[in-house]
Structures are given as structure tokens and as C-alpha cells.
């Protein structure tokens, strides 16, 4: 007697594996962004000193990172918060950037947006199986 594997459950597990790999890359990207912001790198957002903008940027970056970590356990909630924090982070970067605003907003927000959407897709497919 051979056991049949459920193809729908197998595809959800494969999607979860890809999603967690993308989330890990997004978290590593967040570490690099945080290091650039704290170190005052040339690639960090140029802002006026003393305005607290770097702190706000780090808070949104931390929220996005924590939401991805939470999504490993709670895919729906973590994915939703990750997408929301990606939009907030991208909006803040767009406001703070001096040049190439749209490109900077996409660079900062897209890793969390992609990972959050993938976590939401995992949650949705797991609900349906």
C-alpha cells in the first residue's frame, strides 16, 4: 500500500519554503539598512541632524523586521503588518530623500512588501486546503 501525497498541501509547503527564504533575505537587507543608517553611510537617507528622522526610520525598519519574524509563526497577521510597514517605510523614505525619491522608497520598502505578500499568499492557500 502506497501513501498518496496531497498536491495542494505539497505546493503550500513549497511556497512556505520560498517565502521564508525571501523573508530571511529581507531581514538581512534590513540589517544592512540599519547599519547604513546608524553608521551615516553615503547610501543612507540624508536628513537634517537633530530632527529625529533617523530614529523614526529605524523604528519603521524595526517594525518591518519584527513583522517578518512574527510571520514565521502567524503568516496572515505578520504578512499584513509587513505589507503595511513596507508602505509606511517607503513613504517615509520618499519624504526624507533628497534625490531619487521613488527609487529610494522602492529600495527600502520592496523587500518587506514582497515577503509580506508571499506570507499572505501562504496564509491564504493554507486556509483553502
End-to-end CA distance of the chain: 24
The predicted model scores a pTM of 0.82
Domains in the chain: boundaries: 11-128
Record the cell numbers describing residue 72, joined without a space. 514565521
90 vs 55, more confident: 90
| pLDDT computed for residue 42 by the predictor | 46
Which tens digits make up the pLDDT trace of 39-52? 765 455 555 554 67
For the segment 65-105, what is each residue's pLDDT rounded down to a tens digit?
999 999 999 999 999 999 999 999 999 999 988 888 999 99
Instruction: Report residue 93 CA to chain centroid gap.
Output: 14
Average pLDDT across the chain, whole number: 85
Amino acid at each position: 500500500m502506497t501513501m498518496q501525497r496531497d498536491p495542494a498541501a505539497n505546493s503550500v509547503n513549497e511556497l512556505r519554503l520560498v517565502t521564508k527564504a525571501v523573508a530571511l533575505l529581507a531581514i538581512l537587507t534590513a540589517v544592512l539598512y540599519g547599519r547604513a543608517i546608524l553608521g551615516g553611510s553615503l547610501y543612507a537617507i540624508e536628513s537634517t541632524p537633530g530632527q529625529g528622522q533617523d530614529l523614526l526610520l529605524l523604528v519603521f525598519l524595526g517594525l518591518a523586521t519584527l513583522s517578518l519574524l512574527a510571520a514565521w509563526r502567524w503568516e496572515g497577521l505578520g504578512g499584513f503588518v509587513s505589507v503595511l510597514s513596507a508602505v509606511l517605510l517607503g513613504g517615509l523614505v520618499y519624504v526624507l530623500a533628497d534625490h531619487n525619491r521613488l527609487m529610494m522608497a522602492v529600495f527600502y520598502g520592496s523587500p518587506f512588501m514582497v515577503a509580506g505578500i508571499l506570507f499572505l499568499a501562504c496564509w491564504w492557500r493554507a486556509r483553502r486546503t
